[in-house]
């Protein structure tokens, strides 16, 4: 008999708890070079670029805005758009108005639009990286109908699961709450109201177009579970004085209109090479789709648009800063207007003016006061917070011991101890899930809504916040004496004075979209981009034709960082950077063909769009970036008289796919994985055998200090492990933590790999830097038995 939705949800919650003796199941290794795509786009869909806010001029401030491209652009920029780019060395990442766990951003947004000048009635997808809308479906609607706008939020669970494994569903729901609140705050600045419309799963998927499976993973690489989007909720926005309410009649209209719509667009691939699967996420998604109920909503304070654009998650706090009591009260007060909120705040107060260091509780209702029942002594009321009630001191504590406790129970994160305070959001849990398993989503979303309110208020007060999704669940509950699941802590947050890292450079969010003609900012773009995306072999032919004089004047640009350019680039390429881009845009011949390549073929598209905006007529972005281009050039120039040196088609395809240089089979990528290491991690015996036959270096270590043997054991392919051992690879190599491959096998419960290593003479007596041997790290009794037998 299949478990009930209630039992499935509770089982998921229990198995995804972090514990002091172990974390919830997650990936054993992360490949930062191949993380899921942060942005989704729809090929062949009509695109409309939205106007950007003039951040040097007046910004929305609560005055009523009529629906237009400009006001719609402001709503999306202030809620889901980019607020900055950050860079450190060769790494570059975007920051958005809506916070996200790990900055992985699983949330996608779709808009149902009617009566918006400049946009066809129908369903549109928002692309935050380019601040554009992509038309998914054109619908026929009455010409005299009032304007209508609804925003549908979906999630791509794999973006979070790639890093966080089974716990990812929790983080997806927190991020839905973050995004939902971000929309509410942005809409308030336009004097638009927002209301969540509770809809069943089938209706949400139909209205968002996420039920069109072939549009998301048909005929392309990537598993269905990595490409799928889960429709989460619909937010109706009053943009016309409540003349176009999103009621049952509106839902019926949109379902019928979309059934007869003209659809376009195929979704870009999120992850072509997923390494793991987490079936429990699919199970809890299905079990929590039941009776949907709206997330308790904020009555938002009127945030300053500049604070929204400046909001960042703190990375470090000043451990000396004392938060004024008035600011502390103002911060907590923003959580008060949540309708029927059942979240109680468990606070670790480190440095707040007028409050002793200690553990405090802010109960939200009578049930919250029951949390104190298991305490050894009654709590002390220290102050009354308007709209919230009494702040109770549970225990005073030595500052250092309090910091140690806060740090320990919140996954040893210094943010939890160095800020002015941190808190856990505790809510009645078991009864809520028993009554309706779909409440699991709603509870996490409500916590995310509270988190966004705290983020923005902290920014307004001149401090900063940081959401904390990683904590040892039951260790937190034990502080309140909780022995069952009647209450659970779902999300944590810390606040304090941020300390900025001077090594990280902050760049404008949409500099690549600025145009010398502002009137083009909202002009519709053709389905086919004005620049051309070409495969590496075509780019190689153009370069060779240029060298042969058949294509004179070709301009070749390398947009990678300066260090990568110096280490290796295509002959004749100029390095394109922020320092010289403006000069090149003004001085280069706009009639000449321009070919741009980057690391992987993503940033080059942004640069290509910029060159096109500056009226360059023949601009090309190289798909896949530098490595496949270098491989294509090497293959095209390979002498026909040396067949013995030729690489197999399978190996050439592998090198191109993973952006390795075929001219140097020992050259690593950013995280120091060589072709041999990558083939070992994939468990591809044929490729490993060919690389070994070509004489690649088996002693190379990756950025963690591991050799290819460790990665082969991660893959679980014993044949690959045996080939590497037979080739003479070091069996007892110690990585940066002093751990050996044998220790890895023991700690991950890979008994078959452990036996193979022992059979081939791996030393079980080697110790790591904590003086532990493989036998001390065993995850299973079978592994321990094997090691004890080998020691006899």
Q: Where in the sequence numbering do the catalytic residues fall?
A: 598
Nearest to 267 by CA among 376, 371, 127: 127
| Contact (CB, 8 A) for 604 and 529 | no
In three-state form (DSSP H/G/I as H, E/B as E, the rest C), the secondary structure along 196-253 is EECCCHHHHHHHHCCCCHHHHHCCCCCCHHHHCCEEEEEEEEECCCCCCCCCHHHHHH
Are the CB atoms for 348 and 421 separated by under 8 Å?
A: yes
Contacts of 187 (CB under 8 A, 6+ apart): 75, 79, 193, 194, 237
Residue whose token pair is 């290509």 = 608
- Among residues 366, 120, 420, which one has the least CA distance to residue 257? 120
Contact, 327 vs 321, CB < 8 A?
no
Query: Is-contact 177 295, C-beta < 8 A?
Result: yes
Q: 640 has which bridge partners?
A: none
Two tokens at 86? 């950050």
The answer to whether the CB of 531 falls within 8 A of the CB of 619 is yes
Could you report how far apart the first and last alpha carbons of the chain are, in Å?
A: 47
621 vs 613: CA distance, rounded Å: 14
Task: Return d(Cα 8, Cα 107) in angstroms, integer.
Answer: 24
Query: How far is 21 from 31, CA to CA, in rounded Å?
Result: 25
State residue 563 phi and psi, 5-degree precision.
Answer: -65, -45
Phi, psi for 789 (deg, rounded to 5): -65, -40
| Cα(142)–Cα(121) distance, integer angstroms | 10
Task: Please give the structure tokens belonging to residue 316.
Answer: 């470090």
Distance CA(88)–CA(80), nearest Å, equals: 23
Q: What token pair was written down for 757?
A: 């290593």
The number of angstroms, rounded, from the C-alpha of 721 to the middle of its chain's C-alpha atoms is 33
Angstrom distance (rounded) from CA 346 to CA 423: 5
- H or E stretch at 121: none
Phi and psi of 184, rounded to 5°?
A: -60, -45
Q: Are 576 and 559 in contact (CB under 8 A)?
A: yes
Q: How far is CA 460 from CA 84, 303, 448, 721, in A?
A: 18, 8, 19, 56
d(CA 713, CA 760): 14
Cα separations in angstroms, 506 against 84, 88, 310, 656, 670:
7, 9, 11, 32, 22
On the 0-12 / 13-18 / 19+ scale of CB atoms within 10 A, 526 is exposed
């Amino acid at each position: 008999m299949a478990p009930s939705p209630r039992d499935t949800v509770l089982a998921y919650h229990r198995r995804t708890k972090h514990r002091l003796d172990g974390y919830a199941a997650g990936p054993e290794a992360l490949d930062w070079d191949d993380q899921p795509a942060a942005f989704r786009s729809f090929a062949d869909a009509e695109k409309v670029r939205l106007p950007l806010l003039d951040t040097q001029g007046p910004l929305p401030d609560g005055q009523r805005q009529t629906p237009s491209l400009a006001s719609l652009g402001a709503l999306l920029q202030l809620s889901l758009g980019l607020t900055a780019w950050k860079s450190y060395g060769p790494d570059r990442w975007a920051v958005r108005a809506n916070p996200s766990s790990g900055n992985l951003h699983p949330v996608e947004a779709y808009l149902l639009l009617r009566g918006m000048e400049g946009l066809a009635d129908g369903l549109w997808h928002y692309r935050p990286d380019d601040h554009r809308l992509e038309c998914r479906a054109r619908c026929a609607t009455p010409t005299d109908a009032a304007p209508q706008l609804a925003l549908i939020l979906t999630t791509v669970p794999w973006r979070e699961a790639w890093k966080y494994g089974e716990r990812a569903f929790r983080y997806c729901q927190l991020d839905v709450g973050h995004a939902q609140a971000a929309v509410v705050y942005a809409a308030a600045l336009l004097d638009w109201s927002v209301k969540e419309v509770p809809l069943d799963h089938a209706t949400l998927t139909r209205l968002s177009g996420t039920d069109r499976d072939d549009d998301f993973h048909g005929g392309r690489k990537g598993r269905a579970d990595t490409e799928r989007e889960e429709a989460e909720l619909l937010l109706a926005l009053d943009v016309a004085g409540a003349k176009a309410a999103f009621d049952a009649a509106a839902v019926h209209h949109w379902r019928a209109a979309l059934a007869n719509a003209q659809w376009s667009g195929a979704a870009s691939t999120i992850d072509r090479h997923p390494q793991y699967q987490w079936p429990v996420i699919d199970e809890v998604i299905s079990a929590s789709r039941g009776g949907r109920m709206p997330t308790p909503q904020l009555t938002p304070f009127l945030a300053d648009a500049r604070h929204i654009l400046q909001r960042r998650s703190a990375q470090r706090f000043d451990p000396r800063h004392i938060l004024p009591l008035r600011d502390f009260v103002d911060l907590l007060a923003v959580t008060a207007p949540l309708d029927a909120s059942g979240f109680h705040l468990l606070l670790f107060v480190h440095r707040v003016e007028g409050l002793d260091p200690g553990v405090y509780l802010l109960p939200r209702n009578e049930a919250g006061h029951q949390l104190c029942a298991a305490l050894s002594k009654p709590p002390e009321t220290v102050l009354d917070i308007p709209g919230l009630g009494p702040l109770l001191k549970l225990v005073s504590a030595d500052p250092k011991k309090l910091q140690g406790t806060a740090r320990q129970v919140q996954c040893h994160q210094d943010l939890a101890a160095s800020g002015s305070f941190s808190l856990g959001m505790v809510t009645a849990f078991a009864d809520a899930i028993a009554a309706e398993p779909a409440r699991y989503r709603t509870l996490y979303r409500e916590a995310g809504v509270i988190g966004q309110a705290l983020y923005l208020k902290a920014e307004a007060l001149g401090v900063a916040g940081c959401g904390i999704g990683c904590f040892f669940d039951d260790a937190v509950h034990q502080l309140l004496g909780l022995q069952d699941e009647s209450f659970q802590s779902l999300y944590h947050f810390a606040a304090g004075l941020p300390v900025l890292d001077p090594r990280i450079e902050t760049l404008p969010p949409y500099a690549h979209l600025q145009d010398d003609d502002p009137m083009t900012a909202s002009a519709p773009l053709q389905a086919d981009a004005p620049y051309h995306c070409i495969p590496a072999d075509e780019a190689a032919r153009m370069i060779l034709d240029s060298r042969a004089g058949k294509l004179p004047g070709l301009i070749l640009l390398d947009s990678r960082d300066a260090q990568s350019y110096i280490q290796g680039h295509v002959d004749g390429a100029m390095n394109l950077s922020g320092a010289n881009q403006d000069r090149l845009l003004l001085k280069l011949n706009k009639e000449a063909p321009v070919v741009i390549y980057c690391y992987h073929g993503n940033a080059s598209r942004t640069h290509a769009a910029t060159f096109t905006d500056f009226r360059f007529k023949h601009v090309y972005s190289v798909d896949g970036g530098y490595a496949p281009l270098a491989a294509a050039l090497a293959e095209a120039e390979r002498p026909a008289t040396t067949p013995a040196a030729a690489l197999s088609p399978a190996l050439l395809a592998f090198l191109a796919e993973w952006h390795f240089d075929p001219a140097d089979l020992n050259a690593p990528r950013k995280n120091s994985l060589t072709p041999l290491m990558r083939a070992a991690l994939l468990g591809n015996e044929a490729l490993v055998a060919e690389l070994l036959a070509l004489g690649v270096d088996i002693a190379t270590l990756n950025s963690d200090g591991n050799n290819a043997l460790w990665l082969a054991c991660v893959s679980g392919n014993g044949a690959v492990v045996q080939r590497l051992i037979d080739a003479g690879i070091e069996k007892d190599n110690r990585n940066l933590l002093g751990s050996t491959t044998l220790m890895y096998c023991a700690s991950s419960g890979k008994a078959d790999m452990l036996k193979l290593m022992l059979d081939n003479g791996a030393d079980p007596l080697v110790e790591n830097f904590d003086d532990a041997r493989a036998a001390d790290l065993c995850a299973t009794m079978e592994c321990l038995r094997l090691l004890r037998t080998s020691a006899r």
